[in-house]
Amino acid sequence: MVSIRTEEITKRFGDVVALDGVSLNVREGEFFALLGPSGCGKTTLLRVIAGLERQDEGRVYFDGRDVSDLPPHERRVAMVFQNYALWPHMTVFDNVAYGLKLKGLPKEEIAEKVRWALRLVRLEGMEDRTPFQLSGGQQQRVALARALAVEPEALLLDEPLSNLDAKLRLEMRGELRKLQRELGVTAVYVTHDQEEAMSLADRIAVMNRGRILQVGTPAEIYERPANYFVADFIGQSTFIPGTVRSASGEVYEVETNLGVMRAVPSTPGSDFHPGEEVILAVRPENLRLGCGRGSNEVEVKVVHVAYLGKHLRLLGEADGIRVVAELDKDSEVGSGETVRLCADPEDVLIIRRS
Amino acid sequence: MSRDPLILGMLAVSLGLFTAVLLIPMFEIVANAFWYQGSPSTYWLEYVLRDPFYFPVSAWVDGRVPFLHLEITTVGSPYTIRGDTLIISGVDYGVILNTLMVAVTVTLISTAIGVTLAFFFSRYSFPGANALRTAMMVPILTTPFVGAVGLRRMISIHGTLNTIFYDYLHLLPYRVVFDGLAAVILVQSLVFYPIVMINAYATMVSIDPTMEEQAEIFGSSGFKLFRTITLPLAMPGIEAGSLLVFILSLEDLGTPIVFQGSNAEKLLTYQIFTKIFSQTGLILPEGTALAFYLLFFSMVAFFVIRKYVALKQYAMLSRGGTWRPRTRRIGAARTILVYAVSLTILFFALLPHIGVILLSVADTWGPSPIPESFSLKNFRFIVEDHLTFSSVRNSLIYSTVATLIIMVVGSGAAYVVSREGGRWSEILNYLATMPIAVPGIVVAAGLFYTYSATPLNPVINPAYLLTLAYSVRRMPFTVRSAFAGMLQTHVNLEEAAWNLGASRTRAFFNVVVPLVLPNVIGGAMLSFVYCMSEVSTSLVLGGANPAFAPITWKMADILYSLGGGQFPTAALGVLLMSLQLAAIVGSNVLLKQRVSALVGA
C-alpha cells in the first residue's frame, strides 16, 4: 500500500491545459475520489499517476519516492478502465493471468492467484468464458479481478461503474468498497457522479478546468463548500447574491434583494470585508416553514411541489431567485401559493463570488 | 420480407441480374465440369488431376506400410545462372499447385509488408508520416496487368535495375532477372500489399488504446505487446485483407499473359483462357474442370472471409469512453529505420509505374536505364489507330453503361439488405459481395458458354455481355459504399416521411437517395475505373469480335502482335492509371474517407 502525492502537475494537449499545477495527497489505504464534470482533467490526472501520460511539469511520488520517470509497470499500480479494456481474444482466465505471466510466476501460482482474484469478485467457474459471453457487470468484475490479481500497491479506477445500469451500479459500489477495505489497497477513483463519490470515498477532490477546487471528506465538501462551483456541483442549493454589510463575530450581515440576511462563512476562518460582493448558499434541507427567533426569512412563490416519499421538494421563486427546499411530507403547500421559508444563520453559507 | 412494391422490385431486379450474369454461368461451368459423354461424371475433374502438366502428383498406398505415399514431379530449379545472369523463375509444380503456391506466397509477402507498414503508420508518429502513408498506397493505382507491362521492362536482362545496379554501380554479382512464376509473384506482391496495409491500418487505428495501455501497466511492451495484444486484435482486418489478396492473385490473368514464355503460363487462369476459343464459342471440357478448381479455391477463401472473419469483430466489445489515436513519437534512429524500410518497399513498388510511364513516352529504349529518346507517338497512336481508338471508346461506353446499371441495382440491393431482414435479403447480401470471389475468367467462360447460342452471342456483338459482366463484377464497390451510407441514414428519417403520408417509394427518392447519393457516386467512380481496367472478361468476350473489343483486349493484342508493342500498350496503361487516380481522388473527396472502406473486404 502506498501513499500518493502529486506536486504541481501541469499537462497540456496542444493549447488546452488539461492539468494546471495540481497538487494532491492520497493517504495510504485511503479510498480517494477525483470528482468533477467532463473534461475537468480528472482522468488525465489518474493517467499521469498511472504513468500512461507524461506530465509537462511537476512530480509524482509514491511513499515519498519519485516515480515521475518510471514506466507504468514499474509503478506497481493497476488500473480499471471505464470500458474495462478486456482483451476479447483471451478467456477470462487469460485476461486475469496476463499480468501474472509477465511477472514470470510459476504456472501453479498463477492459477492459484487467478482463482483467488475471481473468487474475490464472485466469478468462480467463469475462467473459460470469453468477454463476449459475459454480461456488463461480469465484465466489470473481470476487469477488477485482473487488476487485483497482480496485488497492486494502488488501484486506479476510471469511472468503472458508468457503463452499468443503476441497480447494478449500486450493488457494485458496495462490493468495491468492501473489497478495498478488506485488501487495504490505496484506491483513486475517478467519477463525475457526485453521489457515487460521496457514498464511496474517504475523501474527495473536486476538480474543474484542470484545477483542484477543494479536498475534503464527503461531509466537509457538502456542508462547507469552498466556493460557488463546489456548492453548485455537489447537491442542490439556493443561491442568493448579496453584499457584506457588517460582521459581529462569526456571523455576518449581508444585504440582498430579499432583505438583510445573517450568514456564516462557508469555510471557517474566512474573512469578508464590508462592501464585498458574495453569494449566500442554503441547502434545501436547511430551509423550513416555521421560523424561529433570529432566523432569516424569505417570501417565496411556490412554482411546483414534488412528493418524494420522505419529504416534499419545493421549487419556488423569490425576486427572480430560484429557491429549492425540502419540507416535511405533511407540509401543506401547493403550487401558486406564497410561503415564508426560514433558515438559521449557521445554515446560510457565505461564498466568495470568484 | 416486406410486400412493398419498391422492395420487391429492387429485390427482383438485383436477384435477376445476379442470377443471369453470375449464378447461371457459374452453374454452367460447374455442370460441364461434372459432365462426360452425356451423363454426370467426375471424368474431367479426374482427368485434370491425372495429367502431370496440371497436377504432377502421384499417390499410392504401399502394401507393406499402411501409409499414403505422395510424389511430386517438379520441373526446373528456383534459379539458374547463365553467364553473368541470375534467372529467378521458380519451380514448376504443375498448373494447380503453381496457382496455389503463387497465391499463398503473394499473400504471405503482401501480408508481411502490409502489416509492417500498417504498424508503423498506426503506432508511430514521425515527421512526414501522413505523406509517406499516402505514398505507400500508390501501387493500388495500377492493376497487375498494367504493372506487369511496366515491371517487365524494369527487371529485364538489360532493364533499368540491372543497368543501374550491375552495369553502373557494380553492386550486384549478377544481372538479376525475374521470370515466369517468380515474376508473377513479384508483380502481384508489389501491386497487392496496399490492400493488406489499408485493412490492417484501419483495424489498428480502431483498436481501443486502453487495450494496449492495460497490458503496458502490467509490463508488456515492444514485440511482446504487439504479439499478445495488437496483432490478435488486428487479425480480423489483416485476415480480410490477406484473403482478398489471395483471391485477387488466384484470378489474375494479366500478369501471366505479360510474362508468358517461361512457366508463367502454367497458372489456372491462363490455362482456362487458352481453352476458350472465342471465335467459335467452344470451350474444352478440360477448361471447365480447371475453372471449377479455380472457383473452388476462390470460394473457400470467400466463405472464410464471410464466416470466420465476420465473427471476430473485436471492436464491438468496446463501450463508452473516448480515445485519441495512440501513436508514439519515435526518435531519429527509429525514424530513419522506418523510412529506410518504407522507401525500399516503395522503390520496388513504384518500379511498375515508373516503367509503364517511361515506356509510354519512349521512342526507342535499348540497354539503358531510361529511354534513349522520348516521344508522344505512342499516345498519338492511340488516337490515330482506328481499332485502338475505338477500343478506348468501346471501353468508355461499356463502363459508363455498366456503372449506371451498378448505381441503380447496387443502391437497390444495398437498400434491401440494410432495411429488410429475412432469407431473401440475406441471399442478396451474399450475392452482392460474391462477385469479388468469382474469378473473372470463370464468369467469362460461363457467360460465353451460356449465351453463345442466343442473340447475346459475343461473336456477333460482345457489347451486351461485356456490359452486363462489368456491372456484376464491379458491383461490390458500389454496394459496399451505398450500404455504408444506408447504415448512417437512420430509418427514423424515412419513417418520419411515411408518417407524414409519403409512400415508401416516394420516401426512398425524397429522403434516402439525396442522403446516400455521395456514397453511391463515390463507389460508382471506383466501379467505373475497375470496369475500364477489367482484364479477363474483356479478353475472352472482347476477343470474340475485335471490332467491339475493349481497351484491355487491345493492350494484350498490341503487346504481342506488333514489333515494339510494349510502347503503345504502356500508353494505354498510363491512360488507365490516370483514370484510376482521378476516380480514387474524386471518390475520396466525395466520401471524405480513406480508400480503405472501398477496397477492403
CB count within 10 Å of CB B521 equals: 18
Res B241: pLDDT: 87
Contact A46, A75 (CB under 8 A): no
Chain B nearest C-alpha distance from A155 (Å): 12
Positions of E strands within B390-465: none
Q: How far is the first Cα of chain A from the last one, in angstroms, to the nearest whole number?
A: 38
Burial of B276 (0-12, 13-18, 19+ CB in 10 A): buried
Which of B138, B112, B129, B278 is CA-nearest to residue B200? B112
pLDDT band at B315 (very low <50, low <70, confident <90, very high): very low
B208 to A83: CB separation less than 8 angstroms, yes or no: yes
User: From residue A184, how far is each of A55, A190, B252, B406, B574 by CA, in Å?
Assistant: 28, 18, 65, 66, 71
Which of B466, B443, B471 is CA-nearest to residue B298? B443
pLDDT digits (tens, 9 = 90+) for B230-249: 999 888 888 888 988 999 99
Q: Residues of A at the B interface (Cβ-Cβ below 8 Å)?
A: 50-52, 71-74, 77-79, 81-89, 98-99, 102-103, 131-132, 136, 146, 150, 159, 162-163
Query: Which residue would you say has higher pLDDT here, B565 or A315?
Result: A315
B chain contacts of residue A72, beta-carbon cutoff 8 Å: 213, 216-217
Chain A nearest C-alpha distance from B242 (Å): 20
- Continuous H helices in B275-331: 285-304, 310-311
Of A79, A98, A163, the CB nearest to B319: A163
Residue A231: CA count within 13 A, CB half-sphere = 26
Res B592: pLDDT: 60
pLDDT digits (tens, 9 = 90+) for B15-32: 999 999 999 999 999 999
A52 to B235: CB separation less than 8 angstroms, yes or no: no
A chain contacts of residue B232, beta-carbon cutoff 8 Å: 87, 89
B chain contacts of residue A150, beta-carbon cutoff 8 Å: 218
B chain contacts of residue A86, beta-carbon cutoff 8 Å: 317
Burial of B102 (0-12, 13-18, 19+ CB in 10 A): buried
B321 to A87: CB separation less than 8 angstroms, yes or no: no
Give the chain A residue nearest B236 (alpha carbons): A89
B chain contacts of residue A87, beta-carbon cutoff 8 Å: 211, 214-215, 229, 232-233
Res B306: pLDDT: 75
User: What is d(CA A264, CA A346) in angstroms, rounded to the nearest whole number?
Assistant: 6
User: What is d(CA B202, CA B196) in angstroms, rounded to the nearest whole number?
Assistant: 10
Question: Does position B75 have pLDDT exceeding 60, yes or no?
Answer: yes
Cell of B24: 447461371
A50 to B232: CB separation less than 8 angstroms, yes or no: no
User: What is d(CA B479, CA B520) in angstroms, rounded to the nearest whole number?
Assistant: 8
User: From residue A125, how far is each of A22, A119, A129, A131, A256 by CA, in Å?
Assistant: 44, 9, 9, 14, 65
State residue A49 phi and psi, 5-degree precision. -65, -40
Chain B nearest C-alpha distance from A238 (Å): 33
pLDDT digits (tens, 9 = 90+) for A196-225: 999 999 999 999 999 999 999 999 999 999
Residue A169: CA count within 13 A, CB half-sphere = 16
pLDDT band at B295 (very low <50, low <70, confident <90, very high): very high
Give the chain A residue nearest B221 (alpha carbons): A73
**Proportion of chain B above pLDDT 90, given as a percent:** 45
Res A143: pLDDT: 93
Residue B505: CA count within 13 A, CB half-sphere = 7
Sign of CA dihedral A134, A138, A143, A147: negative
Sheet holding B85-88, edge to edge: B79-82, B85-88, B175-178
Res B319: pLDDT: 45
A73 to B208: CB separation less than 8 angstroms, yes or no: no
DSSP label at residue B284: -
Of B208, B219, B224, the CB nearest to A85: B208
pLDDT digits (tens, 9 = 90+) for A45-71: 999 999 988 999 999 999 999 999 998
Query: Which residue would you say has higher pLDDT here, A132 or B294?
Result: B294
What average pLDDT does chain B have?
87
pLDDT band at B594 (very low <50, low <70, confident <90, very high): very low
* Secondary structure (DSSP) of B52-95: TTT--EEEEE-SSS-SEEEEE--BS-SEEEETTEEEE---B--H
Res B467: pLDDT: 96
Give the chain B residue nearest A100 (alpha carbons): B218
Query: Which residue would you say has higher pLDDT here, B128 or B262?
Result: B128
B320 to A82: CB separation less than 8 angstroms, yes or no: yes
Question: Does position B526 have pLDDT exceeding 90, yes or no?
Answer: no
Chain B nearest C-alpha distance from A119 (Å): 21
Res A10: pLDDT: 96
Res A354: pLDDT: 66
Region B51-76: mean pLDDT is 73
pLDDT digits (tens, 9 = 90+) for B102-135: 999 999 999 999 999 999 998 898 998 888 988 8
Res A21: pLDDT: 95
Res B596: pLDDT: 41
B227 touches chain A (CB under 8 A): no
A chain contacts of residue B203, beta-carbon cutoff 8 Å: none
B321 to A99: CB separation less than 8 angstroms, yes or no: no
Region B516-526: mean pLDDT is 87
Q: Which residue has the cell 457565505?
A: A350
Which of A150, A142, A9, A187 is CA-nearest to residue A73? A150
Question: Does position A93 have pLDDT exceeding 70, yes or no?
Answer: yes
A98 to B221: CB separation less than 8 angstroms, yes or no: no
B321 to A102: CB separation less than 8 angstroms, yes or no: no
Of A74, A85, A131, the CB nearest to B214: A85
Chain A nearest C-alpha distance from B325 (Å): 13
Q: Which of B312-326, B498-512, B576-590: highest mean pLDDT? A: B498-512
Question: ∠ CA A122-A127-A128 to the nearest 5 degrees?
Answer: 145
B320 touches chain A (CB under 8 A): yes
User: What is d(CA B176, CA B157) in angstroms, rounded to the nearest whole number?
Assistant: 7
Chain A nearest C-alpha distance from B429 (Å): 25
User: From residue B393, how far is each of B386, B438, B537, B544, B547 by CA, in Å?
Assistant: 10, 27, 17, 18, 11
pLDDT band at B34 (very low <50, low <70, confident <90, very high): very high
* Secondary structure (DSSP) of B516-583: HHHHHHHHHHHHHHHHHT--HHHHHHHTT-GGG--HHHHHHHHHHHSTTTHHHHHHHHHHHHHHHHHH
Give the chain B residue nearest A158 (alpha carbons): B321
Of A52, A131, A150, the CB nearest to B213: A52
pLDDT band at B325 (very low <50, low <70, confident <90, very high): low
Burial of B181 (0-12, 13-18, 19+ CB in 10 A): buried
Region B389-403: mean pLDDT is 95
Res B597: pLDDT: 40
B321 to A132: CB separation less than 8 angstroms, yes or no: no
Res A34: pLDDT: 97
A chain contacts of residue B320, beta-carbon cutoff 8 Å: 82-83, 159, 162-163
Region A18-43: mean pLDDT is 95
pLDDT band at B202 (very low <50, low <70, confident <90, very high): confident
Q: Which of residues 549-568 of B touch A (CB under 8 A)?
A: none
Mean pLDDT is lowest, of A22-36, B67-81, B379-393, for B67-81
pLDDT band at B480 (very low <50, low <70, confident <90, very high): confident
Res B595: pLDDT: 41
B235 to A89: CB separation less than 8 angstroms, yes or no: yes
Contact B478, B520 (CB under 8 A): yes
Q: Which residue has the cell 443502391?
A: B411
pLDDT digits (tens, 9 = 90+) for A282-332: 999 999 987 777 789 999 999 999 998 889 999 999 999 999 999 998 888
ipTM of the complex: 0.76
CB crowding A276-300: b at 16 or more within 10 Å, else e: bebbbbbbbebbbeeeeeebbebeb
A chain contacts of residue B229, beta-carbon cutoff 8 Å: 87
> Quick one: three-class SS letters along chain A?
CCCEEEEEEEEEECCEEEEEEEEEEECCCCEEEEECCCCCCHHHHHHHHHCCCCCCEEEEEECCEECCCCCHHHHCEEEECCCCCCCCCCCHHHHHHHHHHHCCCCHHHHHHHHHHHHHHCCCCCCCCCCHHHCCHHHHHHHHHHHHHHCCCCEEEEECCCCCCCHHHHHHHHHHHHHHHHHHCCEEEEEECCHHHHHHHCCEEEEEECCEEEEEECHHHHHHCCCCHHHHHHCCCCEEEEEEEEEEECCEEEEEECCEEEEEEECCCCCCCCCCCEEEEEECHHHCECCCCCCCEEEEEEEEEEEECCCEEEEEEEECCEEEEEEEECCCCCCCCCEEEEEECHHHCEEEECC
Of B216, B312, B319, the CB nearest to A83: B319
B chain contacts of residue A113, beta-carbon cutoff 8 Å: none
A52 to B319: CB separation less than 8 angstroms, yes or no: no
Chain B nearest C-alpha distance from A82 (Å): 6
The one-letter amino acid code at B106 reads V
Question: Does position B522 have pLDDT exceeding 50, yes or no?
Answer: yes
Of A74, A81, A163, the CB nearest to B210: A81
Mutation pick from A43, A89, A148 vs chain B, by most beta carbons of B within 10 Å, is A89
User: What is d(CA B190, CA B348) in angstroms, rounded to the nearest whole number?
Assistant: 7
pLDDT band at B316 (very low <50, low <70, confident <90, very high): very low
Burial of A111 (0-12, 13-18, 19+ CB in 10 A): middle
Burial of A340 (0-12, 13-18, 19+ CB in 10 A): exposed
Residue A201: CA count within 13 A, CB half-sphere = 29
Res B251: pLDDT: 93
Res A341: pLDDT: 93
Of A50, A83, A98, the CB nearest to B320: A83
What pTM was estimated for this model as a whole? 0.82
Of A78, A83, A150, the CB nearest to B321: A83
Chain A nearest C-alpha distance from B221 (Å): 10
User: What is d(CA A16, CA A12) in angstroms, rounded to the nearest whole number?
Assistant: 6
Question: Does position A97 have pLDDT exceeding 90, yes or no?
Answer: yes
User: What is d(CA B167, CA A159) in angstroms, rounded to the nearest whole number?
Assistant: 67
Region B199-220: mean pLDDT is 88
Sign of CA dihedral B129, B130, B133, B134: negative
B216 touches chain A (CB under 8 A): yes
A chain contacts of residue B317, beta-carbon cutoff 8 Å: 86, 88, 131-132
pLDDT digits (tens, 9 = 90+) for B488-498: 888 888 888 88
Res B424: pLDDT: 87
3-state secondary structure of B429: helix
pLDDT band at B63 (very low <50, low <70, confident <90, very high): low
